[in-house]
Structure 1
Amino acid sequence: MSGPLRLLSGDGDSLPVIPRPRTRTRARPSWAKDPIDELAERLMEQVAVAVHPYEVAALLESDGLTGDQITARYGRPDLFTLAEDLHARVPRHYPEPPPAPDPWRPDHLRCALRGLVFALPGLAYVLGAGLWHGTADVSGLIVSALAAWAWNQALSHRAYLRLAAGGQAAAGRTLRIGAPAGALGAAATGLAVSGPGMGAAFAAGQSCYLGAASVLLVLGRERVLLLTLLPVAAGAGAVQLWQPPAALAPVLLSATVLLAVLAAGHALRAAVRCAPEAAGPTPTLLRSLPYGLFGLAAGVLAALAGADEPRSVVALTLSMGFAEWLLYRYRSLALTALRESTGGRGFVLRAGRALAYCLGAYLAVLALGSLIAGIRPAPLLGLGAVLWTALLLQAFSLAWLPAAVTLASAAAEAAASLASLPLGPAQLSCRTAAAAVLVAAACRLLGRPTAHR
């Protein structure tokens, strides 16, 4: 000892209690930066997306931070306390996910090609106008076309179902049986109505072409189908410039039918030879029935429109490619609305705007066509609204309602025609009512997010 211990009086047997100095943490100067702030700044992006402090703790542990470093450098007793502090300091920020690819982005070239193959077959009636005579031949052509449209609409739907469930091979087998059967039935119908003659022959060629065209369209051979129409297009152009020999029209029409049938046969052979895929359950025939009924109703409406104003049918067929493009466009806009909406009401408004935009664009094109053709726009716009809205509902597998509405409209117009009522007012009232019902149904049914899955 360096010196004697001083004893207090009365306490000779004990040592005095010497107060122990208090441990005081030296206050950090105001100019010194908090190391936790430095850590938060360095890890800001990772901490900002964390939904719980445990995620921050895992991040710190993976960063190699030890318990001694936490205590000495950051003044926190353990890893989880530091993680909670960081989680509280950094505001939450969840980045938007990258935009997903749009599965409904319209294929402009494909829609243009389909528009051409929808419109160019009408030139066959210009080229072959002198091949049929009398009411019987015309009636046979119309009835045959209606039968072919109804059958091929139902067949195409069923083939698309088989294509989705079992691939090209399954769709090819369906078309290999259905297309010849439909062509034979439509040709027989035309023969029964018109009797033997050039009208029945034209109806048979028309039926064969429509069946072959359905095969090529379902299997995605639009370019091939366009090439098969070149003889008819060239012949119709020649008619406008000079008077070709009378025998040229049957040759060119037969060439188009033959080329289409050969192309369809080749496409079917290639499809059937494709490797079979794991097929799902076979869809029932009843699922395709409303599509056939809609094809029949649409054909009746087009025939009645042609009887009143033939140029309206031309304008309608020329607009079909743009109509199909707008169907894709609506589905794309609806998908964007579904992604951007945060509530049901917001989605309903966005979906309604998309419907108004697409339907308005289609009617604007028809109005321009009626102006160029010099026909009354109102009946054509009503028919266009009915057909486009019905096709839109069908694209969402809502088939029975548009089939029923279009059938009712077609039946009412046909009854007015048979009763010798003024066709213009009857067409306008029937089509306006049908369009109003279909648009209201589209707003209600397609305004539900579950419809766009």
Structure 2
Amino acid sequence: MSGPLRLVPGEWDALPALPRPRTGTRVRPSWAEDPIDELAERLVEQIASAVHPYEVAALLESDGLTGDQITGRYDRPDLFTLAEDLYVRVPRHYPQPPPAPDPWRPDTVRCALRGLVFALPGLAYVLGAGLWQGPADVTGLIVSGLAAWAWNQALSHRAHLRLAAGGPSAAARTLGIGASAGAVGAAGIGLLASGPGTGAAFAAGQSCYLAAASVLLVLGKERALLATLVPAAAGGAGAWLQRPSDALAVVLLLSTVVLSACAAGHAVRAALRSGAPPSAGSRTGLLSSLPYGLFGLAAGTLAALAGLADPLSVVVLTLSMGFAEWLLYHFRSLSLAALRAATSLRRFVLLELRALALCLGAYLALLGVGSLAVDTRPGELLALGAVLWTALLLQAFSLAWLPALVPLAAAAAEAGAAAAGLSLDPLQLICRSAAAAVLAVAAARLLTRPTAHR
């Protein structure tokens, strides 16, 4: 039984033929792992994000894969065949890029500081109320304040243009000349309206402070401005408990005016030393800043008329300005998120309308709570708040004339009625509601265009 087995004639020919290895090629047993799968697993992230096999070929070549490895280890005739095999084996997967930083993320601390510097000057009027001598002084204060608001709004816009084009030094040149001219002009208007006296002096101090505040706010010096308000704010807060003497009130008010002027002058000098003057090509026409001045005039007129009818409503409105600015930034942030998330125009429009309703609704809710807290009329206050916030929103997107002319028309109608001796009770609500509706529709129509968010 130990001898060789006898084979039937022809049986050898029936056996299956064994494959012979090619010269220079190592045969991989059937039970061994496929080295192409190993290669695909090692380079899975890069291969999954490829949009064509040629990208995989370039990846393999940059990985140092040689021709001998391709034909020997991976048993493929050339690089492109191996790349096509890898491209087919690995499913497509295109990872999303990491989220970019949000440039419109609201700075809560900065908005709170700006809200304080918007609200605290109101205490100066509480402190200086005993210095006014009759309606002429009040008229001078109002007229000079309106002139200063209009001028400083236009000046701030122009200074921001110069800041973007030529840096802080260019903005400082504009502010140094424009703020001085505006303070002198507003003080002169106050003198003409009230005549010589304490009213004219108060109007001059008011004009100087408003000019200095505009300089500091444009140059980002909110903390310095807040520090200059300490004397007048402390005196005004103390006046609720015990009214100080006229001499002390004058000292406190002059301290705030002098400190703000010195801080503005220091900020301008520091900015002038920060860089070279801008090129001639960066200059823009004066007409571009005109609508911002008209809006300042309209907003000041509406606020003044609101104060004549209900002074507490102006207090609530002033205290809400910091939150209003925070909401402007938040809306820009929501708009950027909508641009990134929307895959169709319809989806973007819905997200943008939702953002507009959310931000405007939050601001009106704050005004409503404030009106309930001080027991003032909510209708006119909410309508005025909607007008101002929506106009500021449109201005933030460089839409200037519409948010200037609509509030200006409402202010002209109310001022004309007040000059004619008519009652403002129904007219204020009608004019402000109509203006708010026009601006809200304009914002919903214009800001739902993706091109508006460039």
- Is this a same-fold pair by TM over 0.5? yes
Secondary structure, counterpart of 2:168 in structure 1? helix
1:173 positional shift: 0.8
How far, CA to CA, are the matches of 1:384 and 1:52 in structure 2?
56
How far, CA to CA, are the matches of 1:184 and 1:221 in structure 2?
23
Letter in 1 for 2:252: L
Indicate the residue corresponding to 1:178 in structure 2: 178
- After superposition, residues 134-145 of structure 1 pair within 5 angstroms as 134-145=134-145
Residues 79-124 of structure 1 deviation map (CA, whole Å, 9 limit, x = unaligned): 1011111112211111111111111111111111111110010111
Indicate the residue corresponding to 1:405 in structure 2: 406
Indicate the residue corresponding to 2:305 in structure 1: 304
Cα 1:70–1:188, aligned 2, differ >3 Å: closer, same or farther?
same
Indicate the residue corresponding to 2:330 in structure 1: 329
1:246 positional shift: 2.4
Indicate the residue corresponding to 2:390 in structure 1: 389
Letter in 2 for 1:101: P
Contact 2:137 2:194 (C-alpha < 8 Å) held by counterparts: yes
1:24 positional shift: 5.1
How far, CA to CA, are the matches of 1:140 and 1:285 in structure 2?
28
How far, CA to CA, are the matches of 2:32 and 2:89 in structure 1?
18
Cα 1:104–1:125, aligned 2, differ >3 Å: closer, same or farther?
same
How far, CA to CA, are the matches of 2:125 and 2:20 in structure 1?
100
Return the TM-score normalized by structure 2. 0.91
Indicate the residue corresponding to 1:13 in structure 2: none
How far, CA to CA, are the matches of 1:293 and 1:363 in structure 2?
24
Secondary structure, counterpart of 1:128 in structure 2? helix
Q: Equivalent pairs: percent with the same residue?
A: 74
Secondary structure, counterpart of 2:55 in structure 1? helix
How far, CA to CA, are the matches of 2:18 and 2:412 in structure 1?
99
Secondary structure, counterpart of 1:106 in structure 2? coil
Cα 1:28–1:369, aligned 2, differ >3 Å: closer, same or farther?
same
Indicate the residue corresponding to 1:256 in structure 2: 256
Indicate the residue corresponding to 2:150 in structure 1: 150
Letter in 1 for 2:308: A
1:439 positional shift: 1.1
Letter in 2 for 1:203: A
How far, CA to CA, are the matches of 2:332 and 2:143 in structure 1?
35
1:29 positional shift: 7.8
Indicate the residue corresponding to 2:115 in structure 1: 115
Indicate the residue corresponding to 1:12 in structure 2: none
How far, CA to CA, are the matches of 1:313 and 1:223 in structure 2?
24
Letter in 1 for 2:413: A
Letter in 2 for 1:191: L
Letter in 1 for 2:50: A
Contact 2:170 2:278 (C-alpha < 8 Å) held by counterparts: no
Letter in 1 for 2:209: Y
1:45 positional shift: 0.9
How far, CA to CA, are the matches of 1:201 and 1:207 in structure 2?
10
Indicate the residue corresponding to 1:98 in structure 2: 98
1:78 positional shift: 1.2
Contact 2:169 2:276 (C-alpha < 8 Å) held by counterparts: yes
Secondary structure, counterpart of 1:247 in structure 2? helix
How far, CA to CA, are the matches of 1:295 and 1:429 in structure 2?
21
- After superposition, residues 332-343 of structure 1 pair within 5 angstroms as 332-343=333-344
Indicate the residue corresponding to 1:243 in structure 2: 243
Could you list the runs of 5+ residues in structure 2 that have no partner in the other structure?
Answer: 1-15, 22-26
Indicate the residue corresponding to 2:191 in structure 1: 191
How far, CA to CA, are the matches of 1:262 and 1:381 in structure 2?
38
How far, CA to CA, are the matches of 1:334 and 1:71 in structure 2?
55
Contact 2:406 2:435 (C-alpha < 8 Å) held by counterparts: yes
Cα 1:64–1:274, aligned 2, differ >3 Å: closer, same or farther?
closer
Residues 353-390 of structure 1 deviation map (CA, whole Å, 9 limit, x = unaligned): 11111111111111111011101111101000100010
Q: Is 1:54 the counterpart of 2:80 in the alignment?
A: no
Residues 269-305 of structure 1 deviation map (CA, whole Å, 9 limit, x = unaligned): 1112222165452011001000000000000100111
1:327 positional shift: 0.8
1:350 positional shift: 1.2
How far, CA to CA, are the matches of 2:328 and 2:136 in structure 1?
38
Residues 164-210 of structure 1 deviation map (CA, whole Å, 9 limit, x = unaligned): 11111111111111111101111111111111111111111111110
Indicate the residue corresponding to 1:8 in structure 2: none
Cα 1:245–1:276, aligned 2, differ >3 Å: closer, same or farther?
same
1:31 positional shift: 5.2
Letter in 1 for 2:394: L
Q: Is 1:364 the counterpart of 2:365 in the alignment?
A: yes
Contact 2:131 2:246 (C-alpha < 8 Å) held by counterparts: no
Letter in 2 for 1:81: T
Letter in 2 for 1:340: A
- Name whichever of 287-296 and 322-331 sits farther off: 322-331
Could you list the runs of 5+ residues in structure 1 that have no partner in the other structure?
Answer: 1-20
User: Cα RMSD (Å) of the superposition?
Assistant: 1.9
How far, CA to CA, are the matches of 1:281 and 1:164 in structure 2?
9
- Matched residues, number: 433
1:32 positional shift: 4.6
How far, CA to CA, are the matches of 2:423 and 2:18 in structure 1?
106
How far, CA to CA, are the matches of 1:247 and 1:57 in structure 2?
87
Cα 1:407–1:243, aligned 2, differ >3 Å: closer, same or farther?
closer
1:240 positional shift: 1.7
